[in-house]
Each structure stands twice: as C-alpha cells, then as structure tokens.
Amino acid sequence: MALVAGVDIGNSTTEACVAEIGPDGDVEYLSGALAPTSGVKGTADNVEGVVAVVRRALERARRGVQELDAVLVNEATPVISGLAMETITETIVTESTMIGHNPDTPGGAGLGVGTTVAFGALGEREPGEPVICVVGAGIDFEDAAHGINAAVERGIEVTGAIVHADDATLIANRLREPVPVVDEVTLVEKVPLGMPAAVEVAEPGRTIRTLSNSYGIATVFGLDAEQTRMVAPVARALVGNRSAVVVRTPDGDVTGRRIPAGALTLSGERGKRSVEVDAGADEIMTALRGVRPLTDAAGEPGSHVGGMLARVRDTMSELTGTRADAVRIQDVLAVDTFVPQRVTGALAGEFALENAVALAAMVRTSRGPMRLLAARLREALGVDVLIGGVEADMAVLGALTTPGTGKPVAILDLGGGSTDAAVATDDGVVRSVHLAGAGDLVTKLIDSELGLDNRELAEDIKKFPLAKAESFFHVRMEDGTARFFTDPLPADTFARVVVLSDTGMRPVPTRHNLDKIRQVRRAAKHKVFVVNALRALEQVAPGGNLRQLGFVVVLGGSALDFEIPDLIAEAVAGFGIVCGTGNVRGSEGPRNAVATGLVAAHALAPELGLAVGS
Amino acid sequence: MALVAGVDIGNSTTEACVAEIGPDGDVEYLSGALAPTSGVKGTADNVEGVVAVVRRALERARRGVQELDAVLVNEATPVISGLAMETITETIVTESTMIGHNPDTPGGAGLGVGTTVAFGALGEREPGEPVICVVGAGIDFEDAAHGINAAVERGIEVTGAIVHADDATLIANRLREPVPVVDEVTLVEKVPLGMPAAVEVAEPGRTIRTLSNSYGIATVFGLDAEQTRMVAPVARALVGNRSAVVVRTPDGDVTGRRIPAGALTLSGERGKRSVEVDAGADEIMTALRGVRPLTDAAGEPGSHVGGMLARVRDTMSELTGTRADAVRIQDVLAVDTFVPQRVTGALAGEFALENAVALAAMVRTSRGPMRLLAARLREALGVDVLIGGVEADMAVLGALTTPGTGKPVAILDLGGGSTDAAVATDDGVVRSVHLAGAGDLVTKLIDSELGLDNRELAEDIKKFPLAKAESFFHVRMEDGTARFFTDPLPADTFARVVVLSDTGMRPVPTRHNLDKIRQVRRAAKHKVFVVNALRALEQVAPGGNLRQLGFVVVLGGSALDFEIPDLIAEAVAGFGIVCGTGNVRGSEGPRNAVATGLVAAHALAPELGLAVGS
Amino acid sequence: MADTGVSTRRTLRLDERGTAGPGSRTDEVVIGLSPAFGDFFTKTIVDIPHAEVLRELLAGIEEQGVHARVIRFRGGSDLAVIAHAAAKLSGSGIAVGVLSRGTTMIHQKDLVRLSNLELFPQAPLMDLDAFRKVGRNAARYAKGESPEPVPARNDFMARPRWQAKAALLHIKETEFVVPGADPVELDVRFQLADAG
Amino acid sequence: MADTGVSTRRTLRLDERGTAGPGSRTDEVVIGLSPAFGDFFTKTIVDIPHAEVLRELLAGIEEQGVHARVIRFRGGSDLAVIAHAAAKLSGSGIAVGVLSRGTTMIHQKDLVRLSNLELFPQAPLMDLDAFRKVGRNAARYAKGESPEPVPARNDFMARPRWQAKAALLHIKETEFVVPGADPVELDVRFQLADAG
Ligand SMILES: Nc1ncnc2c1ncn2[C@@H]1O[C@H](COP(=O)(O)OP(=O)(O)O)[C@@H](O)[C@H]1O
Ligand SMILES: Nc1ncnc2c1ncn2[C@@H]1O[C@H](COP(=O)(O)OP(=O)(O)O)[C@@H](O)[C@H]1O
Ligand SMILES: [Mg+2]
Ligand SMILES: [Mg+2]
C-alpha cells in the first residue's frame, strides 16, 4: 500500500488529491483540497501553496505527512495571458452643433425652434422671429423664469431654453407658457448665439422623434438634400435620447471616427495574415482561423496592440529567463465590447457608448523551472516528488472518473486565464489545445461595460445572482421571486441592485437596472466561454467534427459558475453529444481532475513518473 | 384653379389629400385626412371609407363637395396576406421518467435520492434503503407531514417527496428534518412506484444543478456511459428549472421530436426549390433568395403549410373572381418563433417552449374591380373620378415632398399586411417590390410568443410603451423613471405590467416581467421589419447595393411606431445613407404619401389620369 | 386511512390577545374576521366549518412563504370595511376579509374602501378549494406578484335560492357588532376532534 | 443685473398651519426643521441664510418633479430623531432633516433611527450647492431611484475650528425644545428684500 498525493498547480488554484494505491494498482481515494496558487504557475514560488494544500488534504484523510510515499506534481508549464482593451470608435462634435445628452430632468415637453439668444440679451430683443433662450451659469431659476415671462409679455416668442444649471423643471414650472428646456449644459457659454436652433424634450418615458430623424431636422431648418446628408450623423447620434438640442452652425458636424488601434500580425502554420484591430473581433478571429494553429502574433510597433503584446512577452521572458523575442504567442481571442466614453467637443459632458475590442493573448512555455520547484517541494515536505505526465492526459484520466462518462471524451477546462481542451479517442490518443481567454476576461468585460472600475465587484457580479432591494425588508431576485428579511437591510442597499455574494449583499453603484446588468453578465460569458468552447472542441475533435465527440466534460473553476455550463450545454445541444459539468470521482464536481488523474496514472504505471531528488 | 382630392386606398387605411392646382400646375395643399379602409382594398366596398375621408379632408379645408373638380384614386390592386404559424418541435416524455415543471412553491431545498413509495405504504415499510414518498390526491398536508415524520422516527430514511396538491411548503414546514418536496404534480398517480428516483429543489432564486447535468443524473443513479447517453435529453430539458424529479424507469425517455409541417415549394424566375418548413426560417429564406423573384409558392397537399397557402389562394380567388389555381403567391416571409406548448406525457401539466415557424404569404392581383369602384365613387360624390398612375410612382412623388430628400431615393412603406419599397433613380426610373409580412405579423408574433391569445392587446403592446404599476400611486416606465398619480390606479393594475395605451392603462395578464415583454416586442419588430427593410432595399437598390441609395424615407402606419424607425435606421447605419421617417409635405409625417403623390402627378400631367365615367 | 382525504374533524379555538396594531413585517397578510366568525357562527352558509375555512386561508398563505395574522373586527359587519381596515393593519398592505356566511374579499390599504383586489360575493359558492386559493393569491399580492385572480364562480340560481338565508345570517351577524370596538388580535389553534 | 448671479436677498416666512399628519402622496419628501430653524436662528454656522438653505432644498426636490412638505419638530434637537420622525410622516417614507447650524441628514421610515441614507455631519462644509444636491437625492430616493450619494466633503480642520461654535449653537437650539410638542406643518414663503 502506498499513500500518494496528486497535486495540480493551476494558474489560479492549486488542487490536491490524496489516495492509497494497493499492490495491484487499485486506488482508494481518500480526500481532496484546494488553495490559491502562490506565485506564478510552474515556479518555485508555488511551494508554499502546494504544501498548504497537501497538508489540508492529508488532514482530511486523517493521515500525517510522514506517512506519505510520494507527491505527484503536474508538468506545470506556465501559461501567461495578457488582456487589453482598445476603444476603436470615437464621437466628435464640431462647432457645438449638437447637445445630445440626457439630463435626468429636462423641463416641459415638445419641440421649440428659434434663434439662440443669451438670457442677458433677451431684454433688448425686439419682437420678431422666435428665439431659444440660452441661460448661462449663475442665473437663478426664478430670475430666468421671470426674464423669459417678461420677454414673452413684450411679444417675444420664446420657444425653448438651454440652461447651465440643473434648473429645467424649476424654470418650466414658473413659465406662464411652458416650453421645452434642456438643462445641465455644462459648457453653455460655448453655445453659438444668433444661430437657428431646435430644442426637443419628450414626454417622460418616451424618446425624441423629430431631432433624431434626419428629415425632422431638415423640416425644422428647411434643409435641402445635400445639407440633410450632412446632418444625418447628428440625427443618428440623438436616437434614443429623451431630450436634445441641435444648433445649425455653418460647419457643425458630428463624426463617428474609427481610432486606429494598430495592426495585428498573426503567423500560423498555414501562413501569415495582418488585420487591423479596429476592424473588430470577427475579422480578427476569421484571420486567426485562416492561419491556425498560431505560431506567433505581433502587434504593430508603437500602436496600442503592439504595446499590449510587448507586455505579455516581457512578463513571460522575465519569468522563464527566455529572451523576449523568443517568446511565442500561441493563441489570441478577440471580443467585441463597448465602453462609455466622453464625447469630444460635447458641451454637456455627454457620454457615448463606443465600440472597443478586447484581446486576450496566451503564451505557453515548454517546461519551466519545474525541477527547481520539485526539489524545493521535496525539501519542504521530506517526501519523494514525481513530475507527472502530460497535463492533458492527466486531465482526461481525472475527468473519466466522472460517473457516466466514456470514450471518445473531450474535456473543457474553464480556468481563469485560459480555456483548455483535450480529447481522448477510443484508442487512447490525446490531443489538446490551450486557448486565450477565460474567467478573467469575463470579469474584465463586465467591469468595463458597466463602467464599474472595480474588478473585485465585477468578479462578484460574474459569480453570484443579482437582486433589487425593493424595501428595507425584501429584495426581488433575478427570477422575480421576493425574499423577505426580518431585520432591515443595510442602508446602502436602499433601492439598489445588489449582488447576493457569499459574504452578503453588495450594492452595485451604477445607473443600470437589474436586467441590463444581467444581460451584460450573460453576454460576457457567452462571448468568452461559448466562443472558446466551440473553438476548442472544433480544434480537438476528430476531423474538426463535434459530432465525433461522445462526451464532453466541463471542468475548472469557471465550471462552478451558475450559468456558464448551461450556456455551453445549450450551444452544443445540436451536436447530439452528452455535455455536462464534471463530477470527478463522483464527489469533487468539476474540480480536482488533474490531481486525480495524476494519482490514477501513477497507479496504472508508477514507473512513468519522473522522480526528482529521490 | 382646380380643387382635387388624391385618395389612397390601403389595406388598412384610406388617406386623402385635398389641394388646389393652379393653371401653371402649381399646387397648394390644403388638408389631409384618414380613416380605416372599408372592405377589401380595391373593391367597391371601399366607397364608404373613401367618401368619409374625402368629406373630412374637405371639411378641414373648409370647402364643399360641390366645389371639387376631381377625385384621384390610386390603382388599388388588392394585396392579400395570409399568416400561419406551425409548431415544429415537440417534447415527449415516456414512462413518466421526468417531472420538470416549475411549481411556484416547492418545499425544502437540496437533493433527495431513493425508491418511490406511495404515502399509504409508508407505514408498512421497513428501514433499509432511502425512499422518496409519493403523496397522492386528497391527503391533507398535516397528515402527510405526520406520516413522514412517523416513518422517519421508525428509522426509514425519507429523502424527498412528490406531492399532488400545492402543499410542498406546508409539508416541508412540518417535517422534523426538512427534505426537498416537489408539488402540484397533477397526475401523481402515474408516478411509477418502487423505482429509483431523485428530487431536487434549488434555493429560492437559484436553479437546480444536479438533475440538469447528465453527469449529475449519472452520479445519482450510478449510470454507465451508455445509460448516461440515454438520459442526456432529460438533463437538457431540466436546465433552468427551480425544481425537478427524475424517476429511473427501464425505458423512460424524453425526446425532442421535429413535427413535419410539410414542404414548401418555391417557384421563381431562377428555378424551383422545395424546403421543409420544419427546417426553420433561415432555410426557407435562403431557398427563396435562390429563386427570387418568386412567381408562385405551393404547400405540400394535406400538410399544414399546404392548408395555409390554400386558404390565402381561396380568399383571393373569391375576391377577384379569378380561379384559385390562377392565383399566384408573390412573396413569402418566414420567421422563427416559439410557442408555449404542453409537454406530451408530462405528469404536472408542464409546458415547454417549442420552436415554431410563422409564415406570411402575399398575393397581388393585377388591377381588380377598380372601374366598378370608380363608377360607384362617382355616383356617391357626383364628381369626376380619375384612376391614377402606378402606386409606387405615386408613393415616391409623395415621399419627395419630405424636406431634405433627394434622388436617388428609396421609400419603405411599412403597412399592416405588406412591406412595400420603391426606388427612384436620378433618371426617374422607378422600381418597386411588395413583400409579405408587416405590422399584422408583428402583432401575431407578440400575441403567440407571450401566450396572450388576445390580438387587440398584442396590438397595444406593439404600439405603446410598457410600465410596471409599483403601487396604486405610481408606475415605473420602461426607462426606469417613475410616474406618479394623485388618484389611485384601477385595482386590476395592481402589481401588474401595464401598456400605456392612448385610451389609458391596460394590464397585461401574463407571468412575464416587463423586460421580457419588451424583449419579445422588440425582437418581433426586428424579425419582421428590419429583415423586410433590408430584403426590400436589396431588391430595389441599383445592383442590389444599398450604398447606391442616397435617401431612404420610411412611410406607412408602422412608421408611426415609437421604435421601428430607429431599428431600421440602426440596421442601415453602416451603408452611409440618410434614413429617416418621412414627413410628407413637411407636415403629415409618414402618412399621406400616395394621396399627395396622386395630386402632384396630376398637377404635372393631368392628361395621364384615366377618367372614369365623365 | 390517511389517503382517503379529509376524514378528520377539526375544531377552532380563537383566543383574544388584546387590541390589534399595525404590522411591521412586510411579508404578512392579515385575515380580518367578522364579529361572529368562529364564535356564535361556526359554519358558512353552506355548512363549511369555519375551522376549515380559516385553516385553508392560512394554508394558502403559508404555502407561499408568507406570514399570516388573524384579527377580529367587532366594529361592523360590512365586508369592505372589515377587509379595508385589515389591510390598513397589514404590514404588506394586503388583507383578506371574511364574513361568517363565507363572503370573502382581498383588499389593499391604498385602495379606496369601496374598491378591492378580488371579491367573492356569492358565499354559497365558496368551497375549501376557493378559500385555499384566496389565501394563496393574497400572499402573492403581498410578495409583489401579479397572480391571476381566482376564477369567480357564478351561479345564477344561487342568488335567489340562498338570498333569504344570507339576509338572516347578515342580520344575526350584525347583532354581534359592538360599535366603535377596537380590532382584536387572535391566537388561532386547531384541535382534532375524534377522527370519526 | 440678472446675469450676475444671486444678488437678491430673500427673507423666509414660516407660518404654522397646525399639527402635521402623515402624508398621503407617495411622491412627497418631507423637510424636517429643528426647533429654532428660520426662527430664532436665521443663518447656519457659516452664515448661510436659512431662507437660501430651505429654498435650495425645495428647488432640488422640485427639479426632480417631486412634492415637498415642510414640518417643524419642536420636540427635540437631535437630528436623527427629527429626520426619522419626518420620514415617518412622509408619504414616500423619505425625509430630509436639517438643524439650524446646517447639519443635515436624509432618512427613510423603515430604517432604524440611528441609521440613515445620507448624513452630512459637518455643518461648516454645507454650502448652497450641497443643499440643492441633498434635496435632489432625497427626491430621487422617493422616486425609487438609486442616486450616487452626495459626495461627503471632509475637512479635518473644520471640526476643531468650529467645534466650540457648534456646541454653543446646539445648546441654544435645545433651549427652544418643547418636550412632547407635536410636529407642526409650515407654510413657506420667500420674500425678496430689496435687491441691493
Ligand atoms: N463559484 C464560481 N463561480 C464562477 N466562477 C468561479 C467560481 N469559482 C471560481 N471561479 C472562476 O474560476 C476561475 C479560476 O479557475 P481555476 O480553474 O481555479 O483556474 P486555473 O485552472 O487557472 O487554476 C476564475 O476566473 C474565477 O473567477
Ligand atoms: N401609432 C402606431 N404605432 C405603431 N404601429 C401603428 C401605429 N398606427 C398604426 N400602426 C400599424 O400600422 C399598420 C397599418 O399600416 P397602414 O399604413 O395603415 O396600412 P396599409 O398601408 O396596409 O393601409 C398596422 O399594423 C398598425 O398596427
Ligand atoms: Mg434638470
Ligand atoms: Mg407549492
């Protein structure tokens, strides 16, 4: 009888499996444990984490370290993944032609058309053409309303107002004849005066109809076809707003510009292709498919993408002692996303949702300083340390301890930095692939799309369901059910969307409602894991045909997610394969596959392990 | 000076435009009006509606019928559209293997595994293997709880319960050791007894994890690979449920079956193709694109689709006096949708969301009984009636009165039964196309996807924004803003989603929340109008290239929609064209284009009209 | 035999626990009883025991995971008044009012008294299943859900047939009214009489 | 000149209109004033006129389309007590409490008294802009929105510098407390003193 511990050092998590192997190679699994990986995978820094996790597993098995015969470690080749995000569109307003922001509380409703006149000049104005009153900073709302009422009394047709402060309702409430008022125009002093302008405010809950329609603007300003063509981008930018101002200036324009983010050159076994990052994720992934398998990727020097790939390369070279130019990027995942960005030239701090591309890149070394790690580990534990076989083989062996699995089997290991897949056919051949992009990218997408700037909160949003605190005594869950509490909820959750994390309720400080946050969360998971699952299975399946796979077993930390496995199962439902979350050894869920596989492999053929220092 | 009235008889709406034409052909537009079309377009039944609308327009212009010089009527060729929906998938449960319904209030939480035992037999049971208690109809919850508690006291391990009545929480609350309880199993007497079974209930707001995972079921029942392959559909069917029961019966199975809906044969100028309706909308539309323009379509005799096309043909033949087999179907639009359907063989009245295909087909005759209509009209009004030129030419002429438009211009007329498009290039050539599917299909999709069975309510949901009545004094609108009321809202709106229709607040009797209803509404508009707009423009654009279109003017009743024009503008944003809602004569919005065009054409060349009866 | 259905007979014990105040739990439904419910009267107009009526109302509420509080209103015998007053005392704002003869109403505190969420005017048509569903719906309103109203049974023959008896019962119930009396919180207990 | 900003001087007139009861409008915010606010005292600790304080609070609420009601609490000078009592009388359950020296708090009726939605403990840092934003946020809570809390300014020098004056003002304010006095509804009017 031999007592062994299989240890899997992952990028994020180190897992152990303790078992007793009988003389005929029969295995009795005793326990498992996990802990965060200390340091970068495959380096001597891992020792601390490994020792902790082996001790914990032994404790659970009620055995001592001195009883241990061997520690089996995976060939922990470091995987470094880099994440970057580049905004590829930009909205630019010139000559203050448009004020398209959505103040919370515009005043009045309807459409007003006239010439822009400063509030101070209203008194000198003679009756004649209609005017739009521009109310600058420091003017009290009562004074503003009083001045406009006085002007109207003198026969001046005031059809709308543009206001600096958050005063629109206050002013509109005090007008004898209400007109649409757009407020919170921070840079109101830049509104051109003496120009034709239109102010539109929709009824609450509605959006504007005239200024968001090119022909609406043409009607208002009497534009000809050529001029209408020029204002079409203005109309487009105003779609969905509750209020807007359009000023007709000679050269006013709104442009949606593509920002060059640099070109990405993908070198693969089937050739080399260059693609502009601002062409979007689809183009990049199509180019990649054309040259796959990737042998290296390079970013245009001096460009954003160049900088990003250089960073990945540098980290890796530092870790492994390889020269930076010898480091090879082995996969790239591009994802379309969007980020709220300030509009250039805007007068009211308007934000536009700009397109962006997120890139994950992955570098995998050949074996790193594994022997050093193994030697240190032996010192720390006083036990023989064997470096086990190929990681993918081990993962498959471990996955096959899941009840109900059979060959041909594919595993999908959904980690933090990479999505790994392997296939074992009936004849025992294992093919594997390591793809860039996994749980960390999902977190990053959630963080940036919601504009949270808080990775840790984004991680919680990824992992736990949402609810809305509807009172101090109950929340409404995502599925519409109410949950009541006897003690009042914390004051900072009031009327907020909260994450029901394992450490309690956490408010999400954003304007988005629950459904929007949920949608962003699910879309991010889809864009990364469904895409990667299909990409990975396609690459490992015999002949690239998913129907050839009998069983797919989903493993890894992200397989614990409450919806990712369902999303993947749904995506492969059409292929007639059995796909589910792994349950390693019938008890560990999607965790512990490699650690378990190391033990199983050792039991089958103990001589295959590479002994270190014994 | 001549006083004329242009009249456009549409499928749904009849519109008029009254104008004075000067000796040099200069037009002064005086007024417009509209009314529902009386009878089928292009038939003598229209007279009533035309008279009403002409009178109303004259009234608005403060002129009398006797002053009228001529009525100009469009060539009202009848367009008949047929709508049909066929469910193409079906879920069948055999041997009561699975109870996957979602009762509102299951009891307890967790997973219970054991052999099914009738409640009545619990008393005779000896301690041994764990049991799942099956509580039949008529057993009081206190008695049930008491019986289970007594059994547990005698050493019987009761791990879960399956209950007929809505009693799960009541029973679970009274158990000394709570177990998962699934209730409202209407046909509980059909649950096989003496079989291994598993009951799973998730925490509130969560979904089950074990029984929705093939390997979870395999773990529970100790299945081998082959058996797991058999239960995979069961697991798939349970994804997303809060509670479930799986009973392991020898031949238990769940199948998702495709229902043959018949084949559709599309004959076009470029050949003939046959496609199975259950292949889905994409396949049908691809086949159509391959043979376009369509000259006729036929459904497999005796099949669902055959019946539907026969109905369209019969109506048309009746109306026009043509023989049914001489009626030609000129366009088809297929849309993927889904309908909630009862699961065959289910024990708890479970519903599954089954796939369905909705088909709109369109028949257009050459000129119908127009002369009869014109003659009757002349009698009724005592005025000369001229039948105007080609409808598409008239629509273009009318659309060009929208400020800011220029050639080349495309119009998109979004009606109730059909989506029509026309293009006028710089040289005046007009090409037009009439496509099946418009506002009525959107209404039908909303109706069936939400399971309302109320076309009129579905029409309101299409046309007006939603809100949630959060108290008797305020609603929360779609965009999250609150609207307050001083008088309490009607009792039947309490806690319900309401449509803010023009006649007041209307509760939507459905379980779906606001966001779900909104999503269905927007998706339906997208599936019909965005798809049809692109299809139509592609067919009329020079060389099929949308970039060749300078201006797109959106017209028709559905252009009044609060979001359809924005959806279309977004869809064509990438083509660098100006797209917006028409504003006929700078005042009529997207209405009155053909009526206005008739007047404009008459002013240009009065001799072109075909005088009737003068 | 347990599986032959309701064979047990339960009796109802209602103990007064002092003046009823407004509830503080937002997940409670108040059941407002008329002056003589479960007291002078023990059965509805169609002889359904009040014990079973109240038990089904409570079961319907409990099954939804909502708390119930039972209050007797001695001040009047008008169902709308009882149900509305009960709603005003309910932490969720939702209450069920029930008269001795079986007429029942679901009310909400912000509604005007003469309105209601659901009304079951025909006492003779109220069976145990209906009371269970009333309890269930009241609880679902309290949770902010929007249940389908309990289908209102209607029997045109019931009205003339039961009219006289209903009027008598109403007169009798009204005799128990103590004008101006405070609502009283009740402790509810069911006891099994012998199982017959 | 109208465009040079606040050059006018307003005076505040507060007329009592009897005991304040609970509000029935769900879209109202109550402003709870301390015993001597706009009465014995007319300015905050940093000499901001109470007329302007109240006007900005009201403006912040009105701009959000929400109704305001102003109530004086004579029964005590503890801000949490005033704000919480005001919240209990507010139809929306939201209230702003403000002391003569300028300390301010947003409260909600279901919170325990010692908690709050937003607290602005440092009266010397409260300027007109801050009062406007407090009014705005209170109104947004009343609408069921979840505003970003008004950024809490913090000045570590302010506390020692103003501590003595704050204590004096508190003692003075407390002298105006009438124990057990009912809250009083106020009619608020602003009058333009000469424009100077
Ligand atoms: N309960 C959970 N739900 C969803 N995601 C989880 C959960 N637990 C861990 N993760 C995610 O799993 C990823 C790490 O997976 P893991 O398998 O531990 O990584 P590695 O294989 O690289 O060591 C992280 O992105 C983390 O967010
Ligand atoms: N305000 C509105 N919003 C959205 N759709 C509308 C509105 N008014 C009418 N419709 C839709 O317009 C369609 C009828 O369009 P119309 O142009 O009148 O038809 P036709 O050209 O066939 O006579 C119907 O589907 C109707 O639902
Ligand atoms: Mg404002
Ligand atoms: Mg239940």
Q: Judge if B418 and B563 occupy the same domain.
A: yes
- Ligand lying nearest the CA atom of residue A561: 1
Q: Which domain holds residue A353?
A: 82-88+259-364
Closest CA to A44 of A385, A320, A373, A316: A373
Burial letters D72-104, b for 16+ CB under 10 A, else e: bbbbbbbbbbbbbbbbbbbbbbbbbbbbbbbbb
| Chains within contact range of chain D (3+ C-beta pairs < 8 Å) | A, B
Q: Stretch B159-188: mean pLDDT, rounded?
A: 96
CA distance B499 to D31: 35
Q: Indicate the SS3 state at residue D167.
A: helix
Provide the pLDDT for residue B613. 40
**Contact flag D65-A140 (C-beta cutoff 8 Å):** no
Which region, left, alpha or beta, applies to residue A38 given φ > 0 means left and ψ of -120 to 50 means alpha?
beta
Provide the pLDDT for residue A543. 87
Closest CA to A236 of A262, A252, A217, A261: A217
Provide the pLDDT for residue B607. 58
Q: Judge if A189 and A230 occupy the same domain.
A: yes
Out of A12, A80, A455, give the residue to mutate to test ligand 1, the one with the largest number of ligand atoms within 8 Å of its CB.
A12
Q: Is the pLDDT of residue A69 over 80?
A: yes
Q: Count of CB contacts below 8 A, B vs C?
A: 67
pLDDT digit string, tens, across residues A235-250 = 988 898 999 999 988 7
> Which residue has 């606040």 as its token pair?
D6
For residues B530, B534, B540, B544, the Cα torsion angle rounded to the nearest 10 degrees is 180
Identify the structural domains of chain D with CATH numbers, from first to last.
Answer: 10-145+156-187 (3.40.50.10150)
Closest CA to A20 of A67, A54, A75: A67
Q: Is the pLDDT of residue A253 over 80?
A: no
Q: Stretch B557-568: mean pLDDT, rounded?
A: 95
Provide the pLDDT for residue D192. 81
> What are the residues whose beta carbons fall under 8 Å from the beta carbon of B86, sequence distance 6 or more?
B259, B261, B277, B278, B304, B305, B308, B356, B357, B359
Q: Is the pLDDT of residue B216 over 80?
A: yes
pLDDT digit string, tens, across residues B451-492 = 999 999 999 999 999 999 988 899 999 988 899 998 889 988
For ligand 2, say whether the CB of B556 is within 6 Å of any of its atoms.
yes
Query: In chain A, pLDDT over 70 holds for what percent of residues?
Result: 97
- Among A66-70, C57-61, D28-32, name the one with the lowest average pLDDT: A66-70
Closest CA to B15 of B554, B586, B596: B596
> Which residue has 């560990």 as its token pair?
A588
Number of domains in chain A: 4
Q: Judge if B45 and B171 occupy the same domain.
A: no
Burial letters A508-545, b for 16+ CB under 10 A, else e: bbbebbbbbbbebbebbbbbbbbbbbebbbebbbeeee
Q: Judge if A549 and A601 occupy the same domain.
A: no
The average confidence (pLDDT) of chain A is: 90
Beta strand spans in A281-404 (E): 294-299, 329-342, 351-364, 384-387
Among the candidates A253, A280, A315, a domain finishes at: A253
- The residue in chain A having the minimum alpha-carbon distance to the alpha carbon of residue C25 is A486
Q: Is the pLDDT of residue B431 over 70?
A: yes
pLDDT digit string, tens, across residues B386-421 = 987 778 889 999 999 999 999 899 999 999 988 999
Number of neighbouring beta carbons within 10 Å of residue B177: 11
CB A207 within 8 A of CB A188: no
**Contact flag A470-C25 (C-beta cutoff 8 Å):** no
pLDDT digit string, tens, across residues B282-317 = 999 999 999 988 999 988 888 888 887 888 788 778
CB A562 within 8 A of CB A590: no
The average confidence (pLDDT) of chain D is: 90
A 90-149 residues inside an 8 A Cβ radius of B: none
pLDDT digit string, tens, across residues D38-67 = 999 999 999 999 999 999 999 999 999 999
The average confidence (pLDDT) of chain B is: 90
Q: What is the DSSP letter of A53?
A: H
Beta strand spans in B514-566 (E): 551-555
CATH number at residue B11: 3.30.420.40
Among B452, B472, B476, B484, the strongest candidate for a mutation testing the C interface, having the largest count of C CBs within 10 A, is B472
- Per-residue tokens: A70: 């061997």
Provide the pLDDT for residue B181. 97
CB B384 within 8 A of CB B614: yes
- The residue in chain A having the minimum alpha-carbon distance to the alpha carbon of residue C67 is A484
Closest CA to D5 of A165, A187, A180: A165
Q: Judge if B436 and B551 occupy the same domain.
A: yes
CB D143 within 8 A of CB D27: yes
- Residue C5 CA to ligand 4 center (angstroms) comes to 18
Burial letters A183-193, b for 16+ CB under 10 A, else e: bbbeebeebbe
pLDDT digit string, tens, across residues A389-424 = 778 889 999 999 999 999 899 999 999 988 999 999
- Among A303-312, B202-211, B389-398, D81-90, name the one with the lowest average pLDDT: A303-312
Q: What is the pLDDT along chain C (196 residues), one digit of tens a residue?
A: 333 334 457 899 999 999 999 998 889 999 999 999 999 999 999 999 999 999 999 999 999 999 999 999 999 999 999 999 999 999 999 999 999 999 999 999 988 888 999 999 999 999 999 999 999 999 999 999 889 899 877 777 777 888 889 999 999 999 999 999 999 999 999 988 754 4
Q: Judge if A408 and A554 occupy the same domain.
A: yes
Higher confidence at residue A97 or residue C97?
C97
Out of B8, B9, B12, B562, give the residue to mutate to test ligand 2, the one with the largest number of ligand atoms within 8 Å of its CB.
B12
Q: Judge if A418 and A552 occupy the same domain.
A: yes
Closest Cβ opposite residue B491 in set C63, C117, C148:
C117
CB B7 within 8 A of CB B14: yes
Provide the pLDDT for residue A55. 95
Q: Judge if B220 and B113 occupy the same domain.
A: yes
The distance of B478 to chain D (nearest Cα, Å) reads: 13
In chain A, residues with a C-beta closer than 8 Å to the C-beta of B242 are 479
CATH number at residue B228: 3.50.30.70
For ligand 2, say whether the CB of B419 is within 6 Å of any of its atoms.
no
Among A142, A193, A466, the strongest candidate for a mutation testing the D interface, having the largest count of D CBs within 10 A, is A142
pLDDT class of D136 with cuts at 50, 70, 90: very high
Q: Judge if A152 and A63 occupy the same domain.
A: no
Provide the pLDDT for residue A342. 81
Backbone phi and psi for residue C67, each to the nearest 5 degrees, phi listed first: -90, 150
Higher confidence at residue C128 or residue D159?
C128
Q: What is the DSSP letter of C113?
A: T
**Cβ of residue B485 closer than 8 Å to a chain A Cβ:** no
For ligand 2, say whether the CB of B415 is within 6 Å of any of its atoms.
yes
Amino acid identity for residue D172 in this structure: K
- The residue in chain C having the minimum alpha-carbon distance to the alpha carbon of residue A482 is C143
CA distance A410 to A421: 7
Q: Is the pLDDT of residue A545 over 60?
A: yes
3-state helix, strand, coil in chain B (%, to 5): 35, 30, 35
Among A133, A134, A140, the strongest candidate for a mutation testing the D interface, having the largest count of D CBs within 10 A, is A140
Number of neighbouring beta carbons within 10 Å of residue B124: 7
- Among A95-109, B327-341, B424-438, name the one with the lowest average pLDDT: A95-109
- The residue in chain B having the minimum alpha-carbon distance to the alpha carbon of residue C190 is B142
Q: Is the pLDDT of residue D81 over 60?
A: yes
Q: Judge if B216 and B143 occupy the same domain.
A: yes
- Residue A511 CA to ligand 3 center (angstroms) comes to 17
Burial letters B423-458, b for 16+ CB under 10 A, else e: bbbeeeebebbbbbbbbbbbbbbbbbbbebeeeebb
Q: Judge if A439 and A387 occupy the same domain.
A: no
Q: What is the DSSP letter of B41?
A: T
Length reported for chain A = 614
The ligand 1 site (C-beta within 6 Å) comprises A 10-13, 415-417, 439-440, 459, 463, 556-558, 560-561
Q: Judge if B437 and B544 occupy the same domain.
A: yes
Q: Stretch A81-105: mean pLDDT, rounded?
A: 78
Q: Is the pLDDT of residue A233 over 50?
A: yes
CATH number at residue A309: 3.90.470.30
- From the number of C-beta atoms within 10 Å of its C-beta (0-12, 13-18, 19+), residue A145 rates as buried
CA distance B1 to A410: 84
Among the candidates A220, A253, A286, a domain finishes at: A253
Residue nearest to ligand 1 atom 27, measured at CA: A439
Q: Stretch A25-47: mean pLDDT, rounded?
A: 91
Q: Is the pLDDT of residue B610 over 60?
A: no
Among the candidates A347, A364, A381, a domain finishes at: A364
- Ligand lying nearest the CA atom of residue A559: 1
